């Protein structure tokens, strides 16, 4: 879900609420999503977000790199596979990951 999606949903619901006069008092409607900054913590999280963009910080260097940005391809056998924008497909041991968003 993007910020634009949240805006669109907010406009639709605000219009509905205003026109239906359900709420008698003034209100502030906020629509949000955990989106890109959601931290992935377990295998279930990884499986749900395969195909999504992710950022990874590793404790140690992989191909002379510790920070990765790319598409999450797989999580199997204790390894994360990411299509990194710099080094293309990279496998990182789950235990070597410092932070994954």
Across the chain, mean pLDDT equals 81
**DSSP H helix total and E strand total for the chain:** 2, 5
| Closest CA relative to residue 36, chosen from 49, 23, 18, 21 | 49
3-state secondary structure of 86: coil
Dist CA 53 CA 55 (whole Å): 7
pLDDT tens by residue, 14-46: 888 888 878 777 777 777 665 555 556 666 667
CB atoms within 10 A of CB 80: 23
Contact 57, 49 (CB under 8 A): no
In CATH terms, 38-101 corresponds, of 3.40.50.300, 2.30.30.180, 2.130.10.10, 3.30.450.70, to 2.30.30.180
Give the bridge partners for 58, in sequence order: 97
Both structure tokens of 85 = 């924008």
pTM for this model (two decimals): 0.57
pLDDT tens by residue, 49-63: 788 888 888 999 988
Segments making up each domain of the chain, as ranges: 1-33, 38-101
Q: Residue 93: which H helix or E strand, with range?
A: strand 88-93
């Amino acid at each position: 879900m993007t910020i634009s999606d949240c805006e669109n949903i907010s406009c639709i619901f605000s219009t509905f609420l205003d026109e239906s006069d359900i709420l008698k008092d003034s209100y502030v409607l906020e629509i949000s999503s955990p989106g890109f900054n959601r931290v992935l913590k377990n295998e279930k999280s990884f499986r749900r977000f395969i195909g999504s963009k992710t950022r990874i910080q590793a404790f140690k260097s992989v191909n002379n790199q510790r920070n990765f940005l790319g598409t999450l391809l797989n999580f199997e056998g204790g390894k994360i596979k990411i299509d990194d924008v710099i080094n293309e497909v990279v496998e990182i041991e789950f235990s070597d990951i410092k932070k994954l968003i």
